[in-house]
Structure 1
Amino acid sequence: MPIHRLNTKEDLFRTIAECSTFGIYILENGIIKYANRTLGQILGISEEDLLGADFFSFVHPEDQQQVRQNMSQCLNNGAPTGPYTFRCRCVNGDAVYVEASDRAMEWENGRVLVGNLTDITSRKRLEADLEREREIFNLFMEYSPIYVFIKNQDIRTVRLSKNYETMLGKPLADLLDKSMAELFPPDLAQSMEADDRRILEEGKPLKVVEAFNGRVYETMKFPILRLGQPAYLTGFTIDITERYLAEKALQKAHRELKARFQQIKQLQEQLLEQLIRDPLTGLFNRRYLQETLDREFARASREKKPVSLIMMDIDHFKRINDSYGHRAGDKVLIELGQLLASSIRSEDIPCRYGGEEFVIVLPGTPLEIAGERAEQIRSKINNTRVSYRNQPIQITMSLGVAAYPIHGNNSDAVLIRADRALYHAKQNGRNRVVVYRSTAVMPPPA
């Protein structure tokens, strides 16, 4: 495109005006004598249609008095006015905010007003939005039920919600631009500042629980970033005293309930022990023996394993009672029970069958091994002396051994055969072990 030559100052003015992003006008007695293209764009009308129009017809009725006053003052005093803000009314009825500046100049037939304006509607809307947000934020800080704070990088207060007045007992104005040491006790202030500096350094949020003036508070702190770097520190604090006390009470109740359950469990175990134990010897009783036999024989049947029984009886126990008294007999039973319990494996089950009779159940033990163990027990008993009132009492036992499945398919059958073997041991001199249907009788020691 050809470049136009500027021949006069008027050509220069018009060129500058047409290229300007400002709306430019010249008014004579309020009538538009000149308007550039930008002014027409702002008002939604062509610049040709603006010429000869009353400028104030484009000014919002509520702002006309202010604009007339500003322009009259400029014309009368000759001093520039502005920038000032008012609303223009577009041809389509929309209102736009403009910012204008005016200056009086001499032209052709007298003094005219030369001015420029720019559309600031977007800026005004943004300012209005910011003002609304500021008002909402101020209302929030005024009436917030939680404690809200903003601190700067020096860990000094910038904004605080009004309820801090109640917490700290001072007017809000006396709480701003203060360090933590000026508001809180030394230990708490030191802990707060350490947490705050950590957040500003790491740029990560942090939740803390703190005690102050007999209350417990939970605070969520986090950094406010500017250009990716922590610039401020903010947080929300709530009073959790009631919840804290309730949790502590609940924890205490839980501990007490757990302890109570443990006591109940111990009592149940003690009761169970009383139900299944012989009170004198501490061995299992006959009732538990029957339950054990049913269980062990069923398991042995499933696993194809043997179960051996040793039935034993104290020799001449009536003679001990008659010679030394029933207390001596009880002591013999007690010490014998202890000896049996210490002579068997953990999986073996020693029981007091009744009176001076005992039974030991040996799960998974074949007949031959059961016979050997029966002899070991017999020998150990034979070498034991029970002391009663400084008198040694020697005891011996006769033992009968039988086993599943070679001596029977159920516990009753095996128990009967062990009893028969015991009877055979008694008939053949006592103080010996007899394995059912075994012709070899193990003699007592010399």
Structure 2
Amino acid sequence: MTSPQNGPESLDRHLLTGMMDIMTDHVFILRREGPRYRLVYCNQAMANFMRQRPADLCGRRLDEIVPDPKLYQRIAGNYDRVLEAGHILRFEETTEGFEANQVRIFDTCLSPMPGTDGDALYICGISRDTTARREAELALQQANETLETQLAENQELHRQLEEEAIRDPLTNLFNRRYFLESLTRELSRAHRETYPVTLMMLDIDHFKELNDSHGHSVGDQVLVEVSQRLCAGMRKEDVVCRWGGEEFLIMMPGLSLADAHVRIMSWRRDHSPMAVQLPGLSLAISFSSGLATAPHHGTTTDDVINATDKALYEAKTNGRNQVRLYRQPA
């Protein structure tokens, strides 16, 4: 940089130039010459980025400094838009196509600036290298996406664990624990809203003999088949549970004992005896069932379940393959 001449204007220009040269942002001024642009000033940071001296850059046309046609068109297109708009515009620019450097990202602020030489038009620009910030933002975005994926996976795993905790592993029916919790809530609600809750306990007849004769694997297949047909015959609001062994317990909210009896008899007409076809084996499965209802036969979970169990016991002791309703002692 040349030494300042005497006088306040030369000193001011020297100070201004010195200030520009200590900036890390790229500062430049271009003059519009027809359809092209000529660089008339750039600070030291921009020259360093271009790997040239300011004196070797200033005075050259932009298409000489930026030989890549695509990169030149992108940059010159931004300058054209600024002059057409007549006010400050901001652009995100990249150096893709500029062979002397790796691809960098710049936040560029451009302002039209009328010159002192007649109709000449100038553009003043300040470009800040935001590559590191954008890379950090991209890394943060990718990290957030990874965390969101992991969170979704953890939530799904948690849902699966919760589901496994309330399901019987063989039949995929609800287990005893879930049934008792559901029945407790349902009885409380039924008491407030005064509607019945009917239970049916169903037992596969002669299941022990089936296991002894054909093996537990056959018995498991029969349990799965019975479970599927029970679920298919129930309403969405009914809760079907594997109570234990070959026993099933079904909660039917809102159904009276008489209505539940009609539904179960209809299901039995279709499924009892139930034909089960296995490789090399055909089975006919029958069922014994007992029904009781709350609040008529009990208001607590223990009371209504015990009443249902007693009705089932009566069905089994009276020959099996039948449905019995709970009868309160005289």
Q: Give the TM interval when normalised to the shorter protein.
A: 0.7 to 0.9
Checking the alignment, whether the CA contact within 8 Å between 2:30 and 2:122 is kept in structure 1 is: yes
Match of 2:90 in 1: 206
Letter of the 1:200 partner, please give it: L
The answer for the alignment partner of 1:419 in structure 2 is: 309
- 1:219 corresponds, among 89, 107, 126, to 107
SS for the counterpart of 2:44 is coil
Map 1:35-434 → 2, pairs under 5 A: 134-153=13-32, 154-176=36-58, 177-179=60-62, 182-183=65-66, 185-202=68-85, 203=87, 205-212=89-96, 213-224=101-112, 231-382=121-272, 384-434=274-324
Cα distance in 2 between the residues matched to 1:420 and 1:129: 112
Report the alpha carbon displacement of residue 218 of structure 1 after superposing the two structures with TM: 2.8
CA distance in 2, matches of 1:366, 1:338: 24
* Unaligned ranges ≥5, structure 2: 1-6
Identity of aligned pairs, percent?
37
CA distance in 1, matches of 2:206, 2:321: 10
Instruction: State the distance in 2 between where 1:133 and 1:390 align.
Output: 105
Query: Separation in 1 of the partners of 2:54 and 2:230?
Result: 83
Q: Measure the CA separation in 2 of the matches of 1:310 and 1:159.
A: 92
Following superposition, the deviation at residue 326 of structure 1 comes to: 1.3
Give the partner amino acid of 2:92. Answer: V
Contact 1:175 1:183 in 2 (8 A): no
What is the TM-score normalised by the length of structure 2?
A: 0.81
Q: Secondary structure at the match of 1:163?
A: helix
Deviation, structure 1 residue 290: 1.4
Report what 1:27 is aligned to.
none
Displacement after TM superposition at 1:209 (Å): 4.6
Distance 1:305 1:216, change over 3 A: farther
Shift of 1:429: 3.6
Residues in 2 aligned to 1:211 and 1:302: alpha-carbon distance in whole angstroms: 73
Alpha-carbon separation, structure 2, partners of 1:260 and 1:424: 54
State the one-letter code of the partner of 1:198: R
Partner deviation per Cα, 1:316-362 (whole Å, 9 max, x = no partner): 11121122121111110112222223333333322110000011223
Q: 2:297 and 2:159 mapped to 1: Cα distance?
A: 35
Give me the TM-score of the superposition, normalised by structure 1.
Answer: 0.62
Given that 1:223 and 1:231 are in contact with CA atoms closer than 8 Å, whether structure 2 keeps it comes out as no
CA 1:225–1:173: 2 relative to 1, 3 Å: closer
Q: Larger deviation: 357-366 or 278-287?
A: 357-366
Please tell me the root mean square deviation across aligned C-alpha atoms, in Å. Answer: 3.0
Runs of 4+ with deviation above 4 angstroms: 128-133
Quick one: higher RCO (CA 8 Å, sep 6+), 1 or 2?
A: 2
SS at match of 1:312: strand
Cα distance in 2 between the residues matched to 1:399 and 1:347: 20
Distance in 2 (CA, whole Å) between partners of 1:181 and 1:245 is 30
Secondary structure of 2:104's partner?
A: strand
1:255-314 per-position Cα deviation (integer Å, ceiling 9, x unaligned): 222222233223322322332211111111111111222222233334444333222111
The answer on whether the counterparts of 1:219 and 1:235 sit within 8 Å (CA) in structure 2 is no
1:71-109, Cα deviation, whole Å (9 max, x unpaired): xxxxxxxxxxxxxxxxxxxxxxxxxxxxxxxxxxxxxxx
Query: Once the two structures are superposed, what CA deviation does each residue of 1:197-237 show, in whole Å capped at 9, x if it has no partner?
Result: 2333234523315254334323132333659x995433332
> In 1, distance between residues paired with 2:192 and 2:95?
65
Q: Classify 1:162/1:286 alpha carbon distance in 2 versus 1 (closer, same or farther; 3 Å).
A: same
Structure 1: which amino acid aligns with 2:133? R
Call closer, same or farther: CA 1:433–1:256 in 2, change over 3 Å: same
Give, as a single letter, the amino acid of the residue that structure 1 aligns with 2:155: K
Residue in 2 that maps onto 1:110: none
Which residue type is aligned with residue 268 of structure 1? Answer: H
Residues 164 and 295 (structure 1), Cα distance of their counterparts in 2 relative to 1, 3 Å cut: same
